[in-house]
Amino acid sequence: MGSLKKKNFMLICLMFLHILVLCMAQGQVHHYDFVLKETNFTKLCSTKSMLTVNDSFPGPVITVRRGDLVYFNVHNQGKYGVTIHWHGVKQPRNPWSDGPENVTQCPIQPATNFTQEIILSDEEGTLWWHAHSDWSRATVHGAFVILPPDGKYPFPQPDFEQIIVLGTWYKGDVMAIYDDAVASGGNPNISDAHTINGFTGNSTDCPTEETFTMRVSYGKTYLLRIVNAVMNEERFFGIANHNLTLVGMDGAYTQPLITDYLMITPGQTMDVLFTANQTLSQYYMLSTAYFDGFAEFDNTSAKGIIEYIGNYTPPSTIPSPTLPELRNATAALNFTASLKSLATPQHPINVPKNITRHIFIAISLNVLPCLPAGRTCKGPPVNNTETIISASLNNISFSTPKIDILEAYYRNINNVFTKDFPDSPELFNFTGDVTNISQYTTQGTKVIMINYGEAVEIVLQGTAIQSPENHPMHLHGYSFYVVGIGSGNFNNFSDPENYNLVNPPEVNTIGVPKSGWVAIRFFANNPGVWFMHCHLERHATWGMDTVLIVKNGSTPETSIRKPPAYMPPCPKS
């Protein structure tokens, strides 16, 4: 699993408002090689070739400690250009290694390699890595575990740990599904199954398929490190007859939350304890879809088995947990609204209280005209006119450029992006009757410019245009505090009065409730070019994305680092 060179290094501290923001770290240096290549896999009794890292699905687990420095040399032995993103790693001053295609780098072309430098700062818990180009992340992803430096958790020490990666399985070639959807302008084909650690579980269609099984000893406590790598639906998750205690999320600790189900969105990670103290037997671990929109979706569940070690007759029917019904937005919001950060002196939080930059972003599904003339499009017809499906933030559907925005920003290359993403949308009754609001959107590569050190609040407002639904919004380069969440339209007067500024959860991805809103806050203390997007892959493809450029501060320590000697080349403009 890669060589480990022990070498101490120091991360420079960034001071802002007398608060240590990106903390001093003294860690080890690790080197790993990732080999991207096509590998044959057989699941659901059908074989396909797919892109993997080192032949594995899910990919290799990387385990390091808080404050370590990790070099990944990504060798592309596949058929097309790819990039890799280190999801939830803040990468202080180092957007060069963040990964999103044509935002911070051009693709790593076949037969080339790119070494990414991953700078861990205050992240502790579970994160993950995944491809960040087209839909390649369906098969290219894995867990990234960041242990406490001294091995001590701020909760009772578990006896064992288990990684749980929730994934999506397509019998077909994911790249072909993506290409077809882009060509037709319609909904992409839905997936065929959901996986737990790569297992689809057996079914009547394919009884030979194996089910993920976790053997447990009576009386022991287990830490599950859950990664939601699913492509297009949020998930409910639970274990029959066992409560779960959420203790961490997105690489930060939470106030312990005892629950019988989780609602975890694509892009989120959750660290959960459970104690094996029930009658010796087998119990299902279950992940079901949570999907509250109008589109067709893959409603298959993924089952794993918790199997007690010992002498007993296996049950004739393995008990399943009772999870909320697939469309239960109330149950989803209840879980998300219950999240709190740990906020102790050992694990402090730093919530901005005096906001200097207010941004309001309306999130919509939309359509665009079916062009050029003569094209056949499979978007929803509007006034009997064919359309292609689109999506937007503040009514701008993000157009991905052909040269990365970071390069264009750093080297002052014109005509790649514009700096005019609006701080607020045109007003309408976002979650009310939208029949008179045009479903058509505009397109552009518009970014949000933010001054270094600004105390930022972004209100993310879901809308009812085309299909009101939950949107897991993810921000690169930062984690943020979710200070408020609710249904309906955000009220600028009454809602801030109910903000949680005491122990709001600190995350990198948050599900904006169906026809609802969330308010997030962070200090703009990490200069760089940072992608922000919905982590439902179809929505990101349709343009539910934008970029935050946090400008340099006044010193070298508050400015973007120099680029590495080698970056994957972009086409000549």
Site residues, ligand NAG (CB under 6 A): 1-2, 32-33, 35, 40, 47, 49, 54, 60, 75, 101-102, 106-107, 112-113, 202-204, 207, 211, 241-243, 258, 260, 275, 277, 324-325, 328, 330-331, 334, 337-338, 354, 356, 382-383, 400, 402, 429, 432-433, 438, 566, 570-571
Partner touching 471 among Cu ion, ligand NAG, none, CB below 5 to 8 Å by kind: Cu ion
**Minimum gap (Å) between residue 24 Cβ and ligand NAG:** 26
Are 506 and 252 a contacting pair, CB within 8 Å?
yes
Are 126 and 146 a contacting pair, CB within 8 Å?
yes
Instruction: Choose between 11 and 131: whose C-beta lies nearer to ligand NAG.
Output: 131
Q: Are strands 212-216 and 302-308 parallel, antiparallel or unpaired?
A: parallel
**What are the structure tokens assigned to 75, written together?**
């060798």
Q: Of 162, 186, 171, 225, give the one whose Cα is nearest residue 48.
A: 171
Partner touching 534 among Cu ion, ligand NAG, none, CB below 5 to 8 Å by kind: Cu ion
User: At 164, which amino acid appears?
Assistant: I
Instruction: Choose between 224 and 536: whose C-beta lies nearer to Cu ion.
Output: 536
Partner touching 402 among Cu ion, ligand NAG, none, CB below 5 to 8 Å by kind: ligand NAG
Q: Please tell me what DSSP assigns to residue 506.
A: E
**Minimum gap (Å) between residue 117 Cβ and ligand NAG:** 14
Instruction: Choose between 11 and 540: whose C-beta lies nearer to ligand NAG.
Output: 540
Burial 143-163 (b: 16+ CB within 10 A, else e): bbbbbeeeeebebeebeeebb
CA distance 474 to 455: 18
Partner touching 536 among ligand NAG, Cu ion, none, CB below 5 to 8 Å by kind: Cu ion
**Cα 338 off chain centre by:** 20
Instruction: Choose between 42 and 344: whose C-beta lies nearer to ligand NAG.
Output: 42
Partner touching 47 among Cu ion, ligand NAG, none, CB below 5 to 8 Å by kind: ligand NAG
Partner touching 503 among ligand NAG, Cu ion, none, CB below 5 to 8 Å by kind: none
Instruction: Choose between 60 and 158: whose C-beta lies nearer to ligand NAG.
Output: 60
Q: State the number of binding residues for Cu ion (CB under 5 A).
A: 4
**What are the structure tokens assigned to 371, written together?**
């062009």
Instruction: Choose between 406 and 536: whose C-beta lies nearer to Cu ion.
Output: 536
Partner touching 111 among Cu ion, ligand NAG, none, CB below 5 to 8 Å by kind: none
Instruction: Choose between 122 and 539: whose C-beta lies nearer to ligand NAG.
Output: 539
- Tell me if 538 contacts Cu ion by CB under 5 A: no
Of 224, 396, 447, 534, the one binding Cu ion (CB under 5 A) is 534
**Minimum gap (Å) between residue 361 Cβ and ligand NAG:** 19
C-alpha pair distances (Å), 167 with each of 103, 130, 230, 288: 25, 12, 4, 12
**What are the structure tokens assigned to 65, written together?**
């400690």
List, in sequence order, every beta strand (DSSP E) within 435-508.
442-444, 447-450, 455-462, 471-475, 480-487, 506-507
CA distance 535 to 31: 28
User: At 238, which amino acid appears?
Assistant: G
Partner touching 235 among Cu ion, ligand NAG, none, CB below 5 to 8 Å by kind: none
Instruction: Choose between 21 and 391: whose C-beta lies nearer to Cu ion.
Output: 391
Is the bond leading into 58 cis (omega within 30 degrees of zero)?
Answer: yes
**Minimum gap (Å) between residue 166 Cβ and ligand NAG:** 20
Query: Which residues neighbour 451 within 8 Å (Cβ) at sequence distance 6 or greater?
Result: 357, 524, 550, 551
Report the residue closest to ligand NAG, judged by CB: 432
Partner touching 30 among Cu ion, ligand NAG, none, CB below 5 to 8 Å by kind: none
Partner touching 565 among Cu ion, ligand NAG, none, CB below 5 to 8 Å by kind: none
Site string for Cu ion, 441-480 (x = CB under 5 A): ------------------------------x---------
Of 539, 542, 547, 568, the one binding Cu ion (CB under 5 A) is 539
CA distance 390 to 396: 10
**Minimum gap (Å) between residue 541 Cβ and ligand NAG:** 9
Instruction: Choose between 267 and 553: whose C-beta lies nearer to Cu ion.
Output: 267
Q: Of 292, 264, 243, 288, give the one whose Cα is nearest residue 431.
A: 292
Partner touching 204 among Cu ion, ligand NAG, none, CB below 5 to 8 Å by kind: ligand NAG
C-alpha pair distances (Å), 290 with each of 232, 247, 326, 333: 10, 22, 5, 11
Instruction: Choose between 229 and 337: whose C-beta lies nearer to ligand NAG.
Output: 337
Burial 532-549 (b: 16+ CB within 10 A, else e): bbbbbbbbbbbbbbbbbb
Region of 22-30, 457-465, 533-541, 560-568 interacting with Cu ion (CB under 5 A): 533-541
Instruction: Choose between 141 and 514: whose C-beta lies nearer to Cu ion.
Output: 514
Instruction: Choose between 168 and 466: whose C-beta lies nearer to ligand NAG.
Output: 466
For 326-330, the CB contacts below 8 A with 24+ separation are: 326/288, 326/289, 326/290, 326/291, 326/299, 327/290, 327/291, 327/292, 328/290, 329/292, 329/470, 329/513, 329/514
**Minimum gap (Å) between residue 495 Cβ and Cu ion:** 22
Instruction: Choose between 286 and 536: whose C-beta lies nearer to Cu ion.
Output: 536
CA distance 163 to 157: 16
Partner touching 109 among ligand NAG, Cu ion, none, CB below 5 to 8 Å by kind: none
SS percent in the chain: helix, strand, coil, step 5:
10, 40, 50
Contacts with Cu ion, residue ranges (CB under 5 A)? 471, 534, 536, 539
